[in-house]
Amino acid sequence: MAPPLLNLQNITFGLGGRPLLDGADISVQPGERICLVGRNGSGKSTLLRIAAGLLQADSGTHFLQPGSKAYYLAQEPDLSDYKTTFDYVVGDLPDDEHFRARAMLAELGMSGDESPAALSGGEQKRCALARALAAQPDLLLLDEPTNHLDLPTIDWLEKELISSRSAMIVISHDRRLLETLSRAVVWLDRGITRRLDEGFARYESWREEVFEQEAVEAHKLERQIAREEDWMRYGVTARRKRNVRRVGELAGLRARRHEMASQAHGTMRFGATEADSGSKIVSNAERVGKCYGERWVVSDLDLRVLRGDRLALVGANGAGKTTLLNLLIGRETPDSGTITIGASVSLVTLDQRRAALDPQLTLADTLTSGSGDMVQVGTEKRHVIGYMKDFLFRPEQARTRVGMLSGGERGRLALACAMAQPSNLLVLDEPTNDLDLETLDLLQEMLDDYAGTVLLVSHDRDFLDRVATSVLATEGDGRWIEYAGGYSDMLAQRRGVDLTARATVSSESVKKNSIEKTNKSATKLTYKDKLALERLPARISDLEDKITKMRETLADPSFYQRDPANFEQQTRFLSSAENELAAAEEQWLELEMKRESLEK
């Protein structure tokens, strides 16, 4: 095997008297792609900065192949020392390689003449990516490269990284990116690293196997302690003198148990505090338009948001997602058309900049509004330390100023504040920024259990697939189209529309001898198709009502105890109805796309 490009061994690093890294290792071969994973605050960014030579470890060895070049992409790039974006991106490139900087900027929609002081967060990140990729380093160290990027840019970045010859260590909460890129996983957990020589898709099952093995070892330790304690009670009495060696061993076992308990993973627990369900129609937009100057960001929009919907807004940065979100909740007024907000809507917002958090306040004061040691969570009061633990904060962090928290910790704190407020409408603007993978899983579970309505803006493709029941996507010129399902469903439907449209022009067919027949049959809907289009909406509505009633019945916790056989039967009926609903919706969607294509 070739010598490693980068090798870190037994790295230790303390932070505020607490060991953050305690013997961490990481080794990278030329061209290797590794994802570095772990909970917020576990030290991932610290380890990456040590790898880049930007931070000195307390102890351990750091080796980078002589003559090799490493480039570190920070979460929040600093462009303040540069006059133009081109000056920043060109960096230390020789004159004969400046063309790569120009090419990268052009691909990312920038001229190179922009002033860094006037850039948005997404534009700053695009410049940082252009600089990193134009440099063509031997090793790329990427810390949350997709933060602040829109979906088209994330797709572009993914393709660029796949084609790059650079070795990579990537920290990201974007599962889709990690699954696509990674060939190995380094898991940083409680100060040490574990390595899996498989892609990220295998990581979560591997992590659970590690936890299960730890649980087995903890159980064995408990039994060993029990045996030694039994000896202490009876063996010493029988011999009338203490065996000093065994007493010392018991003390050591107890210390090891305490260490395992203190290092064990906490479990985050949170759920949104729900207000009264409110009206069935949450927001109703009719012929709504909004423009800035001559540019329409919303044009002639008809949209109805119903109770229980999980509607995601997607599109490039600057397309108007946040504007449309504010229109739907009544915070902005349309230039044309009307928006009606349902009665009894109780709104809680989580914004992407965490603007509601005061960096000068302590964590405890932020949660309690400075009113003592209790947090008002819906209708009940919780002690602030207990509520903090639900969100994986340590008791000693209660007096830590918000400004000292990491990005992920601020994200968890914003969630803790939002979840304590009663609501039946959650508005989440980039909620996944800076959150670790475990927190994302738990946020998704909370949203699954939330009975209210969710309006969501996110560039996390996996999160959109898991959470959204429909996607409202920008099509340019202020036009927005709603698609059933998540992000992947939207892409599939767009491809389906494109294929159907092309079929009406070129009449593509698998069998060449049936081309003319296909052309003739594609000019109109059959009687059977028309009948199905008329009847399917009512059928879908009936199935939805039926499924809702069955779910309410099965939600009764005493149902299974009263009648287990009937419970199992109703579960099978529910599964069958859900499959029938999915088939009916798919059939309606195919027929509707065919009808629209023929009308065009």
Please report the DSSP string for 374-392 in residue order: EEEETTEEEEHHHHHHHTT
In terms of Cα–Cα distance, which of 58, 28, 29, 63 is closest to 43? 58
Give yes or no on whether 281-485 and 524-599 have one common fold. no
pLDDT at 593 over 80: no
Q: What angle do CA 357, 368, 442 make, to 5 degrees?
A: 70
pLDDT of residue 305: 92
**pLDDT exceeds cutoff 50 at 242:** no
Q: Classify residue 449 by burial, with Cβ atoms within 10 Å: 0-12, 13-18, 19+.
A: exposed
Residue 3 pLDDT > 50: yes
Strand ranges (E), 29-75 = 33-37, 59-64, 70-73
pLDDT at 257: 56
Confidence of residue 496 (pLDDT cuts 50, 70, 90): low
Bridge partners, 188 (sequence order): 193
Q: What is the pLDDT of residues 265-280, one digit of tens each?
A: 555 555 666 555 566 8
Confidence of residue 499 (pLDDT cuts 50, 70, 90): very low
For the segment 209-219, the average pLDDT, to the nearest whole number, is: 77
Distance CA 467, CA 391 (A): 21
CATH code at 6-205 = 3.40.50.300
Higher pLDDT, residue 343 or 290: 290
CATH number, domain 524-599: 1.10.287.380
Q: What is the mean pLDDT of the chain?
A: 82
Mark 240-249 as b/e (b = at least 16 C-beta within 10 Å): eeeeeeeeee
| Weakest-pLDDT range from 64-73, 101-110, 214-223, 508-517 | 508-517
DSSP string, 478-497: TEEEEEESSHHHHHHHHHHH
If one compares 12 and 258, the residue with the highest pLDDT of the two is: 12
User: Of 25-29, 236-240, 467-471, 516-520, which range is least confident?
Assistant: 516-520
> At 509, is the pLDDT very low, low, confident or very high (cuts 50, 70, 90)?
very low
pLDDT band (50, 70, 90) for residue 12: very high
Quick one: average pLDDT of 386-397? 85
Of the candidate ranges 99-113, 358-372, 532-546, the one whose mean pLDDT is the lowest: 532-546
Over residues 371-378, the mean pLDDT reads 82
User: Helix 244-263 to helix 203-239 angle, to the nearest 10 degrees?
Assistant: 150
pLDDT above 80: residue 206: yes
Q: Quick one: average pLDDT of 398-418? A: 83
The residue that leads in pLDDT, 200 or 586, is 200
Pairwise CA distance, residues 480 & 595, whole Å? 20
Share of the chain above pLDDT 70, in %: 83
Mean pLDDT of 39-65: 92
Instruction: Inform me whether the pLDDT recorded for 97 exceeds 70.
Output: yes
Q: Is the pLDDT of residue 219 over 80?
A: no
Query: 353 pLDDT exceeds 60?
Result: no
- CB-based contacts of 275: which residues, under 8 Å, 6+ apart? 344, 346, 422, 423, 424, 452
Residue 449: pLDDT band (50, 70, 90) is confident
- Judged against a pLDDT cut of 60, whether residue 512 lies above it is answered with no
Q: Is the pLDDT of residue 182 over 50?
A: yes
Q: What is the mean pLDDT of residues 540-550?
A: 82
Question: What's the rounded Cα separation, in Å, for the pair 424 and 195?
Answer: 43
Instruction: Report the C-alpha gap between 353 and 185 in whole angstroms.
Output: 30
Report H helices in 201-243: 203-239
- Architecture category of domain 281-485 in CATH: 3-Layer(aba) Sandwich (3.40)
Indicate if the pLDDT at residue 239 is higher than 50: no
Q: What is the reported pLDDT for 53?
A: 93
What pLDDT, on the 0 to 100 scale, is given for residue 31?
A: 92
Three-state helix/strand/coil letters over 396-420: HHCCCEHHHCCHHHHHHHHHHHHHC
Is pLDDT of 506 > 50?
Answer: no
The band of 574, judged by pLDDT with boundaries at 50, 70 and 90, is confident
pTM of the model: 0.67
Rounded to whole angstroms, the Cα distance separating 391 from 271 reads 11
Tokens 């949170």, residue located: 270
Residue 599 has pLDDT above 90, yes or no: no
> Is the model's pLDDT at 199 over the cut of 80?
yes
Domain ranges of the chain: 6-205, 212-263, 281-485, 524-599
How many angstroms separate the CA atoms of 232 and 235, rounded? 6
Least confident range of 4-8, 47-51, 202-206: 202-206
141 versus 440: the higher-pLDDT residue is 141
Cβ contacts of 428 within 8 Å, gap of 6 or more: 349, 350, 454, 455, 456, 457, 458
The C-alpha atoms of residue 96 and residue 102 are separated, in whole angstroms, by: 12
- DSSP three-state, residue 337: strand
Report the percentage of the chain scoring pLDDT > 90. Answer: 36
Overall average pLDDT of the 322-326 stretch = 91
Give the per-residue pLDDT at 28. Answer: 96
| Distance spanning both ends of the chain, measured CA to CA | 60
- Give the HSE-up count for residue 465: Cα atoms under 13 Å, Cβ half-sphere: 10
- Residue 96 DSSP label: G
Instruction: Please give the average per-residue pLDDT across 433-459, as a whole number.
Output: 83
pLDDT of residue 59: 94
